[in-house]
Amino acid sequence: TNQNIVITGASSGIGEKVARMVAERGARPILLARSTEKLAEICEQVNERTTVGAFYYQLDVSNVEEVKIVFQKILQEVGHIDILLNNAGFGIFESLQEANFADIEKMFRVNVLGLIACTMEVLPVMINANRGHIINVASQAGKLATPKSSGYAATKHAVLGFTNSLRMELLKTNIFVSAVNPGPIETNFFSIADKSGNYVKNVKRMMLKSDYVAEQIIKLMMNPKRELNLPRWMNMGSTLYNL
């Protein structure tokens, strides 16, 4: 309660679910994404149902200048940031032989550099307050070998490396740094990731519900962990499929 929770990629999927759920529990979600119409609609619904006063801002996390401007605006308008959920991201599932370099570059700009840019904006504020929690949405693709996802997996391994090192850098502070590594989840993710539909067809029965993943993330927000070994529940599902 009474917390300001900044959520990137809040216009759909996990980010949207977390935004709605934290508001139901009395925290204020600050929703960021490129699709302002969707954000406006979600915010309106949240503000009809709750008194938390949700905000939204248009942001393409791959635009570093925009990241700086938006975070400055957020701080001016809401004063402090308690939690940053770095959730914005996308994947394109294809073998390296099929892939375009430009697509892989874009994935790194959003999934890795965008996440680092947002983190760099909130970090001084959290250090100043000596409290806060940065939660990065990585993936099982950041831990295991996953099919047709060399480019995407590389971005999520980068997210985990960044997260683990930042956690060490901040161990003596009161700032928590976490990663969540879900398996496949029923969201819009696969409309871009799996254009052929073959991956989804194969893993459909094992897919996690976005509500479940959002609930796990909220548990983590309420009970941040210090230890370097991530609790088992953070490794949700499994993506060891050989397609």
Report the interface residues with ligand NJP, using CB under 6 A: 8-15, 33-35, 59-62, 87-91, 110, 137, 139-141, 182, 184-185, 187-189
Nearer to ligand NJP, 10 or 126 (CB): 10
CA 85 → CA 112, 122, 138, 197, 231, distances in Å? 14, 11, 11, 29, 18
Helices 115-129 and 150-169: angle between axes, nearest 10 degrees: 10
Closest to 70 in 3D by CA, of 107, 25, 120, 21: 120
First and final C-alpha spacing in the chain: 44
- What's the min distance (Å) between Cβ of 176 and ligand NJP? 19
From 56, 152, 199, 241, active-site residue: 152
Distance CA 172, CA 201 (A): 46
Nearer to ligand NJP, 61 or 166 (CB): 61
CA angle 29, 10, 100 (to 5 degrees): 155
Among 176, 4, 174, 1, which residue's Cα sits nearest to residue 79? Answer: 4
Q: Are strands 132-137 and 83-86 parallel, antiparallel or unpaired?
A: parallel
Nearer to ligand NJP, 93 or 176 (CB): 93
Q: Which residue in the shown chain puts its C-beta closest to ligand NJP?
A: 13
In the complex, what is the shortest distance from the CB of residue 196 to ligand NJP, in angstroms, rounded to a whole number? 16
Report, in Å, the least distance between residue 3 CB and ligand NJP: 21
Tell me how far, at minimum, the Cβ of 139 lies from ligand NJP, in Å. Answer: 3
CB 225 within 8 A of CB 180: no
Q: Which is nearer to ligand NJP, 151 or 182 (CB)?
A: 182
Active site residue 199: no
CA atoms within 13 A on the CB side of 87: 29
Local structure of residue 208 (DSSP, 8 states): B
- Give me the phi and psi of 210, to 5 degrees please: -65, -30
Min dist CB 49 to ligand NJP, Å, is: 20
Are residues 192 and 91 in contact, defined by beta-carbon separation less than 8 angstroms? yes
Tell me whether residue 70 or residue 123 sits nearer to ligand NJP (CB atom): 70
Active site residues: 152
